[in-house]
Amino acid sequence: MADPDLDFQTGESGASATYPMQCSALRKNGFVVLKGRPCKIVEMSTSKTGKHGHAKVNLVGIDIFTNKKYEDMCPSTHNMDVPAIKRLDYQLVNITDGYMSLMADNGDVREDLRVPESDVGKDIEAKFDAQEDFLVTVLSAMGEECAVGTKVMSGNK
């Protein structure tokens, strides 16, 4: 009856990491996949149509995880992938060996996220060393996650 080799332990929703959007519908400060990386659009310009062609859209984006700059050009009528981005705030509980212990709103604790090696990481470590209560904002897209900011906790004391 049932195949014993099938394993259904993980509860993935089956949703795609990206969804298509027409190039002309993209906007500055929006998100797009450039060269296989999730990027935030920082510059966008449209060239006029040629004698036989389409209007082309020139996109410049910055990778949301590595801050590298990517450029791409595509006809305005074509579709481009837009990453499905999730932004969550966690309370920082502890830092052990460069990994953060983060507590979600429902009380679940995760300890699989590294302190980033950027200014955000330095900010997180400085606030933690000063024993401040704060939230860490985690951005996740296309199977990657990274801490991208901190927020002061409100309504605690």
Q: Which of 106, 109, 112, 67 is nearest to 92 (CA)?
A: 109
Q: Which of 29, 82, 88 is nearest to 60 (CA)?
A: 29
pLDDT value at residue 2: 54
- Cα 27 to Cα 5: distance, rounded to the nearest angstrom: 46
Give me the percent of the chain exceeding a pLDDT of 90: 27
pTM for the predicted model, two decimal places: 0.75
Reported as a single tens digit per residue, the pLDDT across 57-94 is 899 999 998 889 999 998 888 899 999 999 999 999 98
